[in-house]
Structure 1
Amino acid sequence: MLSYLSSLFSSRIPTALYSNRLASTAATASGSQTMSIAERVEKSIADNKVTIFTKAGCPYCTATKNLFTNDYPDETVNFVEVPERERMDWKAYMSDKTGEDTFPSIWINQKAISGGNSGIQSLHRNGKLATLLKDE
């Protein structure tokens, strides 16, 4: 089971089925090792309505995952856990792309949500997150 999970690029699952164990898949699948970090990031964002880049042990990432799990259980979310060995390169790419290099990095409809967990929680509280999720 672990070898199967580690071979995945990310976990794209409905939040109703989400668990920490399932979301801990690495962003370096054997089939995607030839892709650069930039290519993998762009593919994840382009191929999914909601993509959330996380890191293990991050309390802000956990809070964001819990928000989607509890309040948007029918939304399919692509959780991508960035491996520790790739974090510096990932942070450099995201800093160039968005001006932010923190976790979680949240993308909805191919647009970055500024502020990470604080930003997404604020959008949720004022009702704008539900609107974003309805937009295609």
Structure 2
Amino acid sequence: MAKQLVDKEIAENAVMVFSKSYCPYCTMAKKSLKEIAAEFKVMELDKRSDGSAIQQYLSQLTGGSTVPRVFVHGKCIGGGTETKQLQQSGKLIKLIRQEA
């Protein structure tokens, strides 16, 4: 079930963030996206009964078990630190606009 849900959300949203509401790295990633006025969808795993199953599948999918897991056009760009670095370098907006 988690696999279908994750795959669907990644496919349907240009920018998809799998997050936990209390996680500072998740906050960093969401802030970086907000600063470039990106449209993105967030799924807060700590507020879902299937959150751990989703996180387990994300780990298999991306090789990283931590949150956030940020996807741009179906590709995982990493977590909070990577998202912030991409935003600061100007590459994040290009990835989202598919200019890169």
Q: Which runs of 4+ in 1 moved over 6 A?
A: none
1:99 to 50, 60, 63: 63
- Following superposition, the deviation at residue 84 of structure 1 comes to 5.5
Q: Secondary structure at the match of 1:76?
A: coil
Distance 2:90 2:39 in 1: 19
Q: Please, what TM-score do these two structures have when normalized by structure 2?
A: 0.87
Q: Kindly indicate whether residue 46 of structure 2 is the aligned counterpart of residue 86 of structure 1.
A: no
Report the AA paired with residue 81 of structure 1: E
Please say if residues 33 and 87 of structure 2, whose CA atoms lie closer than 8 Å, have aligned partners that are also in contact: no
1:86, CA displacement in angstroms?
A: 2.7
- Which of 55, 65, 82 does residue 30 from structure 2 map onto? 65
**Counterpart Cα distance in 1 of 2:22 and 2:71:** 20
Q: Distance in 2 between matches of 1:49 and 1:84?
A: 22
The offset of 1:87, in angstroms, is 3.3
- Aligned twin of 1:33: none
Structure 1, unpaired ranges of 5+ = 1-35
What root-mean-square deviation, in Å, do the aligned CA atoms of Structure 1 and Structure 2 show?
A: 1.6
Distance 2:28 2:21 in 1: 13
User: Equivalent pairs: percent with the same residue?
Assistant: 31
User: Is the contact between residue 28 and residue 81 of structure 2 (CA under 8 Å) also seen in structure 1?
Assistant: no
Aligned-pair distance for 1:133?
1.2
Partner of 1:130: 93
The aligned length equals 98
Q: What SS is found at the alignment partner of 2:40?
A: strand
Q: Structure 1 counterpart of 2:7, which letter?
A: E
Q: Which has the larger radius of gyration?
A: 1
Stretches of structure 2 lacking an aligned partner (at least 5 in a row): none
TM-score normalised over the length of structure 1: 0.66
Deviation at 1:45, TM superposition (A): 0.3
C-alpha contact (below 8 Å) 2:62/2:76 kept by paired residues: yes
